[in-house]
Structure 1
Amino acid sequence: MTVAIVLAAGAPAAGLPTGTGEPLADRLTGQLRRAGADRVHTVTDLPALAALVDTVTGPVLVTGGDLVAHTAVLRHLATSPVGPTVALVLTDPPAADATLVREERGQVVDAGPELPDATGVFGGALRVGADDLPALAAAARSAAVAPAAGAAVDRLFAALADLGTLTFAHRVRLLVAHRVADPAGLAAAEAALAGVDEDRAQLRLSVKERDDFFTTYFVSTWSPYVTKVCARLGLTPTGVTMISVLFAVVAAVLFGAGGRPALVAGAVLLYLGFVLDCVDGQLARYTRHFSAWGGWLDTMADRAKEYLVYAGLGYGATHAGFRYGWALAVAAMTLQTVRHMTDAWYGVLHDEAARRPRPAGPAAGGIGGKLNAASTRVQADTGSVSYWLKRTVVFPIGERWALIAVTAALFGPLVSLVSVLVWGVLAFGYTGALRTLRARWMWVPVLDTVDATLHRDDGPVAARLPVVRPMGPLTLAVLGALGPAVLLVVGLFRSAGDGDPGGLRWWLPVALVVLLVAGLGAGAAHNGPLDWLVPAALRAGEYLFAAVVGVVGGVPPWLVFGYVFVLTVHHYDLTARLEKRQAAPPLHAWTLGWEGRSVLLAVAAIAGFAAPAMATIGTYLLMVFVASVVLAWVVLPARAGRAAAVPVRGASPG
């Protein structure tokens, strides 16, 4: 349930007659209802707003009385998925006593009437999430006793920002939103509204403002038409996601089958599946059907589709006579997963840094500061050659799918996998080097702001290991990955030379001990400038150890791929929940931890049961994952709904 409040205090324009004759504040009330508000209240001062907020339990949409906007602007603000508290930010010239805003990475990091480095002006409307309602009430009471200057909604927002409430910025594109102060301004704003086709603008807005080169020019040029058709057919974003998964699965099967017709057909289906992958998000934005489940599912489906395609390519390359087709598929999956882990945590790092900007002056220098400034300049130069090069060199998903489709159709699965690996390694090296330098400059610890044990994926063994603090958790995690890496290289060389890698079985305990070195940092503080890389290093160590067990233990390559695939699904679940600000998986304690799974694999491999153990542990982990998904997205919400429906004993029905 969303409650909307029109705060008309300090906004003389609220009483101005609109083109239909009704006062502007009354028209806003009707627009808020059409935007989805269940209840709309009009209050005349900040104390009344604070008293009303004290009685509310769900999100609150607050607007001033001087806002002229399309109803879609209010609907988009009310349903924005970027965060619980979102403020409308405009680029209009600021009026007297207006609240200016400074943004970084979509977050409002400062707000006030005097802001020399402002990037926009507060648009007189904000949505406040349920968890931030106490802060909203406190801000209203604080602003009420402060010297009155300007509209009450501006003073309210400035006070909310002063309290440190995390607020995201909602910019207006294609649609119209203006704050007015007199009849002339109102007439001009209404004329601007009338000049825009609201539905057509919303369809165009369903496309991301900034996307990658391939997506921008080879998908988004026509995908909105598909989005419109899907909306008319009544398809949901989740339904479109499932269709895109089906396309990717069929493409993977065709890549595995081989033969030019099958490879070309697979490439076409892969492209169409990627188009639908874009359409599901566009449909969600167009219809404003957002959900935590949908966001999580989209993230998980993207990775599952890509890795199933790798499986098809690996099988196809092996079927065509290349001995190490599955090995290349495992390598590609491992590389992309480690890259994605660094991407996710670097994003968290950057968001945290935006909330704690570095001071200007000498402290802003150094190579990290220069790289940060250069990156900002390039990102601002939208459409330039340097802009597209920067976005393309990192090998985003659109470019990956395009590369796979083209190379598979023209040259076959082997060339496709090698191409993905080569570009992926280069992209990883480029982004890793630059991000390391920038992270050292920002020096913002992020793992200490979350449950580090959860995101490290530590289990009971790591919890019982001693803590080695001087070396730091990142150094220990990297050292832990080196043991499996060295043994894997030796095993592969021996296998390539027609030797028996099984003779290395007794080296597995050594590799395991080296891997467990990473667990010595489990209890240490993760507050170093590069400790955001720890989860990625731990993922690399576990995947490499699984590959070692596969090579030394004679496990079928397809089974090794399947086991690592299940591990990636488990780890992407953690990352998706981090990005979507969701609770930990309810059955995470049952997953044994990276070190627990590795110990079991090692013991089984030494005993000569590597393949059965890998199949058993993988199946178990997959079952826990499925049970956790059902529990998190079906059972627990149903219980919460039933609990909310039960009336409190002694409460009156009125």
Structure 2
Amino acid sequence: MTLALLCASTGNALEPVDATRLTDDLAAALRAAGASVVERSTGGDLAAQLDDIARLARDADGPVLLCADDLVAHPSLLWMLATEPAGRSTALVVPDPDGEVREDRGRLVPGAGTVRFAGALYVAAADLPLLAEVAATGTRGGGVATDVRNAVDLLLPALLDAGLVPVATRVRLLRAVRVHTGAELADARAAVAAVDEDAARLRLAVKERDDFFTTYAVSTWSPLVTRWCARLGLTPSGVTALSVLFAVAAALAFWQASRPAMIAGAVLLYLGFVLDCVDGQLARYTRRFGAFGGWLDTMADRAKEYAVYAGLAAGAERIGLPYAWPLAITAIVLQTVRHMTDTWYGALHDEAAARPAPVAQSGVGARLSAASNRVQADTGSAAYWLKRIVVFPIGERWALMAVLAALTNGRVALAAVVGWGLLAAAYTSALRSLRSLSMRVGVLNTVDTARHRDDGLLTCAVLGRARVPQPLLVGAAAALVAFAAVVGLLTDLLGGGDARLALVVVALVALAAGTPARAPHAGPLDWLVPAVLRAIEYLFVVAVGLTGDVPPAVIFMLLFALALRHYDLTARMEKGAPASGGTGPLLGWDGRIVLLAVAAVTDQATLGVAVLAGVVAGRFLIGAVGDWRTAEGAR
């Protein structure tokens, strides 16, 4: 249940009838935004308003929406506040280089102003104790400022100083104006009336900053599809399911490998990507969000892309082109490891924004951060688009696969994905590592480290007891050994019985990455640990496949299942979904390595890889279905 409080502003010169009408309009808008109860503060006295807010925060059993009573705004803006996708605290802001607060990666943090607070603040239930504490003391210093017109204006900077990191909800195409006189009220109402609210909301459903291909080849017309889907009553998850069907159809067309089929597959892949954008736009347009809906969208994206890899490889093999499956295997390993770094680097940035730096950042990393921020601020410039393209985002990956598949063949398309992916991985890893060193903030230790490492019983009960320090260095060394083994097997440096013995040695070295499991993961580069562990396991799978002559399609199948499991872990963290019942410490990365090593040594590599793929995929599906039922039953 959402409670709303209209806070009276001091010093207004509005006529009583205008003031009453304005507050009535705001109360109606707050109810339309989902507020079940709308209260009004006891008066213009700031101390009394703060008492009202402290009482409301202490008594509320759900989120609280605070709104200044001098705000003239489109009702959709209050609706957007109250329906923030992840249920986090959020504030309505307007871009202003002289504003009183700063926006960093979509979050509000203390510092030099880049945005101006527009007078509406949504406080999530988890942040209500902090709101009650800050409101009870007026400010963190204990006094009530005399130059502030409204208690909400007083609270936001105080909450930021107290550690709150709310989401920034930008006004963008809509209007939000604070008024103090009758003339300002008339002008503000005219400005609001001049905007087609529904059309603006539809356009706002498109991401403000997206990739180059998505911006110019999809978002220019996808809002029309979004509106059509809304009128048909389709849900975002329903559109996600349609996009999966298009991607699967594209993979099947690529498998056929004839020129008409390849062209048809390219078209289907493009349309599937359009629908992949539409599901998010539809969710933002209709404000129909859910943790499991966001999780499903993320999982579907990865599954679709990897299904297309398989289709391209199978099609190339069908027409007699060698090395297509090895390219597909390389692509899925590379892309999954890259996605793990993307997730944890984003978490690192959020953590850095949530806590002030102990000392001023300096060095190469700080200069790179400053340069990156300048480029990002120069929206639409050549440098801006080059920076977004070089990291090889999903739009560019799908566009590259579609174009090359239509014009050439699956092997060429996969080779291009691998080549560009390696370049992007080198670029992002180097720059992010330097920037992380300048931040000097740990992030992996702020969560359940063992869960996100995907440690199994062997590591949790035995190996982790060693508490070896430097988890990143130990993991990186093991990953290098696994990579060297794969290179050696590919170049026939290892052969016959020696290959199996070498595989056992590699397994033992890989398991050494479990010895730092209980050691602190607070280093500035320890956000790389999950990606390193994924690389160790996936490379070992490839080594087992090479040693045991496992069909490449079976190797890919296991890697696909493992990728879904690991994306499940990160997607639940990002989308705020609960932990899955299909995960657990019994069979982590360490246990799977042991099972694969035993299968390879006993000449049962193909059976071992196939069975393990079925077990991993089965546990993932059982957990996902169970969580869906739980989520539906809770409604």
TM-score w.r.t. structure 1 length? 0.91
> What is the CA–CA distance in structure 1 between the aligned matches of 2:560 and 2:313, rounded to whole Å?
13
What pairs up with 1:314-393 in 2 under 5 angstroms?
A: 314-358=313-357, 363-393=360-390
> What is the CA–CA distance in structure 1 between the aligned matches of 2:353 and 2:445, rounded to whole Å?
17
1:30 is matched with which residue: 5, 28, 37? 28
Measured after TM superposition, the shift of residue 192 of structure 1 is 0.8
1:555 is matched with which residue: 526, 550, 553? 550
Cα contact 1:142–1:159 (8 A) shared by 2: no
1:565 is matched with which residue: 560, 564, 582? 560
SS of 2:289's equivalent in the other structure is: coil
What pairs up with 1:494-573 in 2 under 5 angstroms?
A: 494=492, 504-573=499-568
Measured after TM superposition, the shift of residue 9 of structure 1 is 5.0
> What is the CA–CA distance in structure 1 between the aligned matches of 2:96 and 2:418, rounded to whole Å?
47
Go from structure 1 to structure 2 and tell me whether the alpha carbon gap of 1:413 and 1:501 turns closer, same or farther (over 3 Å shift).
farther
Cα contact 1:553–1:608 (8 A) shared by 2: yes
Go from structure 1 to structure 2 and tell me whether the alpha carbon gap of 1:374 and 1:468 turns closer, same or farther (over 3 Å shift).
farther
> What is the CA–CA distance in structure 2 between the aligned matches of 1:630 and 1:300, rounded to whole Å?
13
Render the CA deviation track for 1:155-184: whole Å, top value 9, x for unaligned.
232332232123121111100001112212
SS of 1:364's equivalent in the other structure is: coil
Go from structure 1 to structure 2 and tell me whether the alpha carbon gap of 1:637 and 1:39 turns closer, same or farther (over 3 Å shift).
same
Cα contact 2:312–2:411 (8 A) shared by 1: yes
Counterpart of 1:487? 485
Counterpart of 2:92? 88
Go from structure 1 to structure 2 and tell me whether the alpha carbon gap of 1:469 and 1:576 turns closer, same or farther (over 3 Å shift).
same
> What is the CA–CA distance in structure 1 between the aligned matches of 2:326 and 2:400, rounded to whole Å?
19
Render the CA deviation track for 1:92-115: whole Å, top value 9, x for unaligned.
698xxxx821221122112xxxx6
Go from structure 1 to structure 2 and tell me whether the alpha carbon gap of 1:13 and 1:54 turns closer, same or farther (over 3 Å shift).
farther
1:421 is matched with which residue: 418, 421, 426? 418
1:133 is matched with which residue: 117, 124, 128? 128
Counterpart of 2:101? 101
Q: 1:106 is matched by which residue type in structure 2?
A: G
Q: 1:121 is matched by which residue type in structure 2?
A: R
Render the CA deviation track for 1:503-525: whole Å, top value 9, x for unaligned.
62232211101111211111111
Cα contact 2:582–2:621 (8 A) shared by 1: no
Go from structure 1 to structure 2 and tell me whether the alpha carbon gap of 1:93 and 1:70 turns closer, same or farther (over 3 Å shift).
farther
> What is the CA–CA distance in structure 2 between the aligned matches of 1:298 and 1:13, rounded to whole Å?
50
1:255 partnered with 2:250: no
Q: 1:485 is matched by which residue type in structure 2?
A: F
Q: 1:26 is matched by which residue type in structure 2?
A: D
SS of 1:12's equivalent in the other structure is: coil
Cα contact 2:467–2:517 (8 A) shared by 1: no
Counterpart of 1:8? 8
1:579 partnered with 2:577: no
Measured after TM superposition, the shift of residue 50 of structure 1 is 2.4
Go from structure 1 to structure 2 and tell me whether the alpha carbon gap of 1:366 and 1:233 turns closer, same or farther (over 3 Å shift).
same
Render the CA deviation track for 1:590-633: whole Å, top value 9, x for unaligned.
55110101101111211121122222222111121122112333
2:621 is matched with which residue: 626, 629, 635? 626
Render the CA deviation track for 1:127-175: whole Å, top value 9, x for unaligned.
1111111222222222287335221221232332232123121111100
> What is the CA–CA distance in structure 2 between the aligned matches of 1:41 and 1:629, rounded to whole Å?
41
Where does structure 1 lack aligned partners over 5 or more consecutive residues?
A: 642-654
Greater shift, 382-391 or 549-558, is seen at: 549-558
SS of 1:424's equivalent in the other structure is: helix
Counterpart of 1:644? none
SS of 1:547's equivalent in the other structure is: helix
1:121 partnered with 2:116: yes
SS of 1:221's equivalent in the other structure is: coil
What pairs up with 1:160-559 in 2 under 5 angstroms?
A: 160-358=159-357, 363-463=360-460, 464-465=462-463, 472-494=470-492, 504-559=499-554
> What is the CA–CA distance in structure 1 between the aligned matches of 2:584 and 2:560, rounded to whole Å?
20
TM-score w.r.t. structure 2 length? 0.94
SS of 2:101's equivalent in the other structure is: strand
Go from structure 1 to structure 2 and tell me whether the alpha carbon gap of 1:13 and 1:572 turns closer, same or farther (over 3 Å shift).
farther
Cα contact 1:491–1:501 (8 A) shared by 2: no
SS of 1:165's equivalent in the other structure is: coil
> What is the CA–CA distance in structure 1 between the aligned matches of 2:597 and 2:250, rounded to whole Å?
35
Go from structure 1 to structure 2 and tell me whether the alpha carbon gap of 1:234 and 1:158 turns closer, same or farther (over 3 Å shift).
same
> What is the CA–CA distance in structure 2 between the aligned matches of 1:299 and 1:344, rounded to whole Å?
12
> What is the CA–CA distance in structure 2 between the aligned matches of 1:318 and 1:560, rounded to whole Å?
15
> What is the CA–CA distance in structure 2 between the aligned matches of 1:417 and 1:501, rounded to whole Å?
31
Q: 2:543 is matched by which residue type in structure 1?
A: V
Cα contact 2:58–2:132 (8 A) shared by 1: yes
Cα contact 1:59–1:129 (8 A) shared by 2: yes
> What is the CA–CA distance in structure 1 between the aligned matches of 2:23 and 2:94, rounded to whole Å?
20
Measured after TM superposition, the shift of residue 460 of structure 1 is 1.1
Go from structure 1 to structure 2 and tell me whether the alpha carbon gap of 1:387 and 1:82 turns closer, same or farther (over 3 Å shift).
farther
SS of 2:35's equivalent in the other structure is: coil
Measured after TM superposition, the shift of residue 55 of structure 1 is 2.5
SS of 1:23's equivalent in the other structure is: helix
Render the CA deviation track for 1:361-397: whole Å, top value 9, x for unaligned.
xx43311111111000000000000000000000000
> What is the CA–CA distance in structure 2 between the aligned matches of 1:35 and 1:425, rounded to whole Å?
46
Cα contact 2:2–2:34 (8 A) shared by 1: yes
Measured after TM superposition, the shift of residue 546 of structure 1 is 0.7
Where does structure 2 lack aligned partners over 5 or more consecutive residues?
A: 43-48
Q: 1:8 is matched by which residue type in structure 2?
A: A
Q: 2:65 is matched by which residue type in structure 1?
A: L
Measured after TM superposition, the shift of residue 467 of structure 1 is 5.4
Counterpart of 2:46? none
1:67 partnered with 2:67: no
Cα contact 2:103–2:168 (8 A) shared by 1: yes
Cα contact 1:10–1:152 (8 A) shared by 2: no
> What is the CA–CA distance in structure 2 between the aligned matches of 1:488 and 1:165, rounded to whole Å?
47
Measured after TM superposition, the shift of residue 416 of structure 1 is 0.2
> What is the CA–CA distance in structure 2 between the aligned matches of 1:404 and 1:591, rounded to whole Å?
38
> What is the CA–CA distance in structure 1 between the aligned matches of 2:618 and 2:27, rounded to whole Å?
50
What is the root-mean-square deviation in Å for CA atoms of aligned residues? 2.1
Cα contact 1:8–1:25 (8 A) shared by 2: no
> What is the CA–CA distance in structure 1 between the aligned matches of 2:15 and 2:575, rounded to whole Å?
41
Number of aligned pairs? 624
> What is the CA–CA distance in structure 2 between the aligned matches of 1:636 and 1:295, rounded to whole Å?
13
Cα contact 2:64–2:125 (8 A) shared by 1: yes
Render the CA deviation track for 1:79-101: whole Å, top value 9, x for unaligned.
1225510011124698xxxx821
> What is the CA–CA distance in structure 1 between the aligned matches of 2:97 and 2:137, rounded to whole Å?
27
